[in-house]
Structure 1
Amino acid sequence: MSSVPAVSLPLAKAPALRDPRFLRAHLLQPLLATLVLSTLLMSLGGDQWVADQWYRLEGQHWALQNAWVTAHLVHRVGKWTSTAAALVAIVLCTQAWRGQRLAAWRWPLLYLVLAVALGTGVVSWLKSITNMDCPWDLARYGGTREYIGLFASRPHAMARGLCFPAGHSSAGFAWISLYFFALMVRPAWRWRGLAVGLVAGGVFGLSQQLRGAHFLSHDLWTLATCWLVSLSLYLAVQPLLQRSRSPHRTMPAGEQA
């Protein structure tokens, strides 16, 4: 019986990880942009200005809070779709590590699974410790609480806030890891991968803002967190991937033909 041919990958030329231009473009510039936008949104009132516009357009109440499109289609179905995509990635990763046919995809798929899981996981962890409220909790938007900044002292009697960074948009922004996944397998596709994550996270985030669940800065920091997780994991996995593709690598006895 003939063996099933392996699915190979083109030996994509990896960016020089020690090249200052790579870190400048993928770490320093995004970080600087995040800090500048955060200052505008969180310190200079940009968050409230944007939320005020949505609140006014919805008739001085969050009319879309329980709407079918925002609460069910985007929030619930969107989360299910992201979960289903992650399950597909897990299945493919498992198959790649169990057999030889998809061996070339092992590290890229493992990277993708870990990046999505860690991106959403880190955002969830940050939400549990930052203690910030959603717009709909605030008196300015029909709630009962006063706005407390990220680094401001919060009264002990005030209930905990669990809204920063934005959890739901992480189910979309975590997929910006497709940018780095593409760098491993086909660099020309990296912008398409980035677009998938940005569009998905953007749609999820905008929907939640229209419901009064988050300020714009909440989604900005979710994006920044997912990007930093994806980049850090890429820097860790890329050398292992290149080593596995080395033509001089000695294959274990169980992998030899």
Structure 2
Amino acid sequence: MSTRELATPMALPALEASRRWLLAQSALLGISAVLLYAIFDGTDLDRLLTHTLFDAELGLFPLRRSWFLEAVMHKAAKQVTYVLVAASLYLCWQGWKARLSWLPPRNALLAALGMAVIPLATAGVKMLTARYCPWDLVEFGGYAPYLGLFDPAPAGIKAGQCFPAGHASTGFLWIVWAVALRPAGQRTARRALILGLLAGAILGTARMLQGAHFLSHTLWTLWLAWAVSVSLALAVRADIRLGKRRAG
């Protein structure tokens, strides 16, 4: 019996497992999109939460000019992200050259593309929607009305470009590694997912405290990063089989 004949029966279960994972992710993306829309466009949850951060007497968000939130969590965090992405791209290059056993070439391509496409996709969606930042809204001392997800900008007012949350995307872009590192094992992939979720949540929360975004803006950014990661994995035919847990 040839090596090819021996390998084929073993490859079929792995292929089926990959297909099941992709189908499950697609279903979860669909369900979560419906839930996000129903919760945030069907209720006033966004504005209710944001009102807790707004000082009605002063007519402003007290933390908007916070040195820590602006200088550290906004500007400095963005610069640190650039450095980390550059370092990660070097790892992707090594993986693409098959020099890393834990990062197959196609997965290295997935990670590199994801780190670039997730922020670009976020910026692209901003151009397609007209939603304003909380600090732009009349009820928060601004000039614009609150808009639903598919509402156009009112006549005479420039469309908003605050949805989804761009700064949060610089944290959520790391989620692509949770997919790219699946061959390295469940623990490694899970750690990458947790780090991506934490980074995006922290950066997104910082901007929400300043009045720059609603909670829904950040959560939709997470959804978009997740959708891009799964779509790219399919497009580049990355190895998404979950590797066995390594000893130690």
Say whether residues 1:141 and 2:144 are aligned partners: no
Say whether residues 1:31 and 2:45 are aligned partners: no
Shift of 1:196: 0.7
> Which residue in 2 is equivalent to 1:46?
45
C-alpha distance in structure 2 between counterparts of 1:58 and 1:16, whole Å: 57
C-alpha distance in structure 1 between counterparts of 2:195 and 2:102, whole Å: 23
C-alpha distance in structure 1 between counterparts of 2:75 and 2:194, whole Å: 21
Shift of 1:23: 3.7
Residue deviations 1:113-157, cap 9 Å, x none?
111111111011111121210000011111122222222242231
Unaligned runs of 5+ in 1: 1-12, 243-257
Residue deviations 1:194-248, cap 9 Å, x none?
1111100001111111111111111111111100000111123345x48xxxxxx
CA contact (8 A) 1:169 1:201 kept: yes
Shift of 1:59: 6.2
Shift of 1:24: 4.9
Secondary structure of 2:52's counterpart equals helix
**Shift in alpha-carbon separation, 1:58–1:91, aligned structure 2, 3 A:** farther
Say whether residues 1:219 and 2:229 are aligned partners: no
C-alpha distance in structure 1 between counterparts of 2:119 and 2:107, whole Å: 19
C-alpha distance in structure 2 between counterparts of 1:114 and 1:57, whole Å: 44
CA contact (8 A) 1:74 1:204 kept: yes
> Which residue in 2 is equivalent to 1:180?
179
Q: With the length of structure 2 as denominator, give the TM-score of the two structures.
A: 0.82
C-alpha distance in structure 2 between counterparts of 1:192 and 1:102, whole Å: 18
**Shift in alpha-carbon separation, 1:94–1:179, aligned structure 2, 3 A:** closer
C-alpha distance in structure 2 between counterparts of 1:214 and 1:14, whole Å: 41
Say whether residues 1:16 and 2:17 are aligned partners: yes
Which stretch shifts more, 103-112 or 83-92? 103-112
Matched to 1:92, the amino acid is: L
> Which residue in 1 is equivalent to 2:155?
156
> Which residue in 2 is equivalent to 1:111?
110
Which stretch shifts more, 122-131 or 32-41? 32-41
Shift of 1:77: 1.6
Q: With the length of structure 1 as denominator, give the TM-score of the two structures.
A: 0.80
> Which residue in 2 is equivalent to 1:245?
none
Q: 1:199-218 alignment to 2 at 5 Å? A: 199-218=198-217
CA contact (8 A) 2:134 2:212 kept: yes
C-alpha distance in structure 1 between counterparts of 2:16 and 2:138, whole Å: 49
Unaligned runs of 5+ in 2: 1-13, 241-248
Matched to 1:18, the amino acid is: R
> Which residue in 2 is equivalent to 1:250?
none
CA contact (8 A) 2:115 2:174 kept: yes
**Shift in alpha-carbon separation, 1:158–1:57, aligned structure 2, 3 A:** closer
> Which residue in 2 is equivalent to 1:252?
none
Residue deviations 1:3-41, cap 9 Å, x none?
xxxxxxxxxx6772222xx24532212431232133222
Shift of 1:56: 4.5
Q: 1:186-205 alignment to 2 at 5 Å? A: 186-205=185-204
Matched to 1:173, the amino acid is: F
CA contact (8 A) 1:179 1:190 kept: yes
> Which residue in 1 is equivalent to 2:235?
236
